[in-house]
Amino acid sequence: MSSSSAAVYQVRTRPHRVLQEEAPPADRSADFAEWVKGRLDGPVLRYSARLRLLKEAERRGLGRFEANLVIAAVLYRAGMGQEYELKPKGEWVAPVVTFLVLQGALIAGAWWVLG
């Protein structure tokens, strides 16, 4: 070794800070999807049940559009559809009215010809 003196440097270090990873904010859509999944009770989602789900979504801070998308996704994954609770259409009314009008016309025509 040589007689030259080696310089010694003192290095100051800063205390090491461990950054804590912040938990990601709760995904409201995923939470709502799980809640919807737990509320399905049959092969179809009735309109009245959808309205209740939308009310819950609003309470949880989800918009109506996003809530409908979440509901549709849950229904799709579950292989379900949606049935609307509409009053039955009067599909029988038109044929009955047509029959009565034609019968009336035949009776009136027969009465006029024979009378």
pLDDT in tens, 27-68: 899 999 999 999 888 878 888 899 999 999 999 999 999 999
Residue 95 lies in a domain: no
Residue 108 lies in a domain: no
Residue 115 lies in a domain: no
- Residue 23 pLDDT class (50, 70, 90 cuts): very low
How many other C-beta atoms can be found within 10 angstroms of the C-beta atom of residue 45?
23
Residue 48 lies in a domain: yes
- Does pLDDT of 18 surpass 60? no
Nearest alpha carbon to residue 84 among 56, 52, 48: 48
Domain count, the chain: 1
Residue 16 lies in a domain: no
| Residue 38, SS3 per DSSP | helix
> pTM for the whole thing?
0.50
Residue 56 lies in a domain: yes
- Residue 94 pLDDT class (50, 70, 90 cuts): confident
Residues of the domain holding 79: 26-87
